[in-house]
Amino acid sequence: MTNEEIIDLSEAHVLNTYKRFPVAMVRGDGVKVWDASGNEYLDFTSGIAVCNLGHSHPAVVWAIQEQAAKLIHISNLYHIRPQAELAALLTEKSFADKVFFCNSGAEANEAAIKLARKFFSDKGQRRFKILTMEKSFHGRTFATLAATGQEKVRKGFEPFLEKFTYIPFNDLEAVSKAIDSETAAVMVEPIQGEGGVIVPDKGYLKGLKEICVKRGVLLIFDEVQVGVGRTGKLFAHEHYGTTPNIMTLAKALGGGMAIGAMLVDDLVQGAFGPGSHASTFGGNPLATAAAMATVKTILNEGILQNCLTMGDYILAELLVLKEKYGFIKSVRGKGLIIGMEIDAPVADIVKGCLAAGLLVIGAGESVLRFLPPLILTAEDVDEMIRILGKVLDKV
Ligand SMILES: *Cc1c(COP(=O)(O)O)cnc(C)c1O
């Protein structure tokens, strides 16, 4: 099928919930993807921070093929080997004591919100309020919509699940003030992704933890976008010298397979027991085998170091562009989640890049976001900068 045929079929039958670009990608390899007409693109989106090892990484392909031939699904009525192994690996490499598996970021955050309430309910305490941040993004289900501090995402779906309050990111005093005797948890992305790649001030996340501990409130990190190597550490919070009670993962965890996870510390793990929460597909053999291969590869093959090196290189190159183009306001990020704030229509630049063979995305209204695979090379960065420069010349 050609691009046009796929687009016609899609527009005729798929519910129109996405603003899609008029191309259909049919193949990927590393940092490159190809559309149905054979056009090649340099992918600086990684399927929105999902394909951190690039497209069709051999370790992930092999794990999926091997597991699919053995056992695809069995249900959580029984123990599952790759699920147990993945949980062992994630807890070994993090603050966490136990892991719950589901299928997406929103589901992982739903689990976190439920667990926070159950933790206090079990103790007979009336704590059910959750503080989240302005410009945050936590998902599209009802609880996670309620948690999301962006009006444009929430509009039209009222009334929401109650007891969520939004406070400004990077403002410790606002947190102290907003916590009261009914507050159960503070939920925050260590780096805000959809909100515009907003990085935490020095000491912010550590300060949050101190306030939470002092006031008897749980801390939840939503690492759905920034976890699994994206920032150059396995988990983003490792950069900031602190840990949460609960952390959620999804996007990159399965190397492209749908999987979500909630990691919990020893303090809170007992709040869920048999019957508290469940998922039919959660942690199924195929998804967890893919995730196991993904996490092991990220940890074993110098990929985190490459992420840091390439992240620094991209930042430096973007700063050169900033000197040249007055409409670039700032460049920021950590590892390979990088945002460029521009005083020009981001959508036009994204379109221009696509036409020139480069995939990038926006974040918020004024930020161009770079989320390349962590395996990219300096030549890939040079090619990206060359294409981007050509597009910016026309702004
Ligand atoms: C993408 C994202 C989610 C939602 O994940 P889904 O898998 O789309 O449900 C939640 N939180 C953050 C920070 C995200 O980036």
Q: Is the CB of 317 under 6 A from ligand 1?
A: no
Residues 6+ apart with CB under 8 A from 92: none
Out of 118, 129, 209, 251, pick the active-site residue. 251
Percent of the chain with pLDDT over 70: 100
**Does any ligand 1 atom lie closer than 6 A to the CB of residue 139?**
yes
CATH code for the domain in which residue 335 is found: 3.90.1150.10
Write down which residue in 270, 300, 330 finishes a domain: 300
What's the pLDDT at 365?
83
Work out the mean pLDDT of the chain and round it to a whole number: 97
- 244 and 365 within one domain: no
Instruction: Please enumerate in sequence order all residues whose Cβ is within 8 A of that of 194, keeping only pairs 6 or more positions apart, or say none.
Output: 137, 150, 225, 363, 364
Tens-place pLDDT, residues 93-135: 999 999 999 999 999 999 999 999 999 999 999 999 999 999 9
pLDDT tens readout for residues 272-281: 999 999 999 9
pLDDT computed for residue 122 by the predictor: 98
The pair of three-digit structure tokens given for residue 174, joined into one six-digit string: 């606002």
Q: How many domains does the chain have?
A: 2
- The answer to whether 216 touches 183, Cβ cutoff 8 Å, is no
End-of-domain residue from the set 267, 283, 300: 300
The DSSP element (H or E) to which 321 belongs, if any, is helix 303-324
User: What average pLDDT score do residues 159-184 get?
Assistant: 97
Range 43-62 average pLDDT: 98
Domain match, 266 and 326 both = no
Q: Kindly state whether residues 341 and 293 are assigned to the same domain.
A: no
Give the C-alpha distances (Å, rounded to integers) separating 156 from 165, 335, 338. 18, 36, 31
73-82 mean pLDDT: 98
pLDDT of 308 strictly over 90 = yes
Q: What is the mean pLDDT of residues 374-385?
A: 98
Mean pLDDT of 295-314: 97
For the stretch 30-40, pLDDT in tens is 999 999 999 99
**Which structural domain range is residue 24 located in?**
3-57+302-392
Last residue in a domain, options 275, 300, 325: 300
Same domain, 281 and 137: yes
Residues 179 and 232 in one domain: yes
Q: In angstroms, what is the span from residue 106 Cα to ligand 1's centroid?
A: 6
Question: Phi/psi zone of residue 229: left (φ > 0), alpha (ψ -120 to 50 degrees), beta?
Answer: left
Q: 325 and 231, same structural domain?
A: no
Whichever domain contains 277, its CATH number is 3.40.640.10
pTM as predicted: 0.98
Cα(104) to centroid(ligand 1), Å: 7
Same domain membership, residue 262 and residue 164: yes
Checking if the pLDDT of 364 tops 90, the result is no
DSSP annotation of 103 reads S
Same-domain check for residues 179 and 241: yes
Q: Determine the Cα–Cα distance for residues 224 and 187; give it in Å rounded to an integer.
A: 12
Sign of CA dihedral 8, 104, 129, 177: negative
Same domain, 269 and 372: no
pLDDT > 90? residue 358: yes
Catalytic residue among 95, 100, 101, 137: 137
CA 295 to chain centre: 15
Domain match, 113 and 220 both: yes
Q: Is 90 exceeded by the pLDDT of residue 191?
A: yes
Instruction: Check whether residue 222 and residue 356 sit in a common domain.
Output: no
Quickly state the pLDDT bin for 25 (edges 50, 70, 90).
Answer: very high
Whether residues 90 and 129 fall in one domain: yes
Q: What is the mean pLDDT of residues 351-372?
A: 96
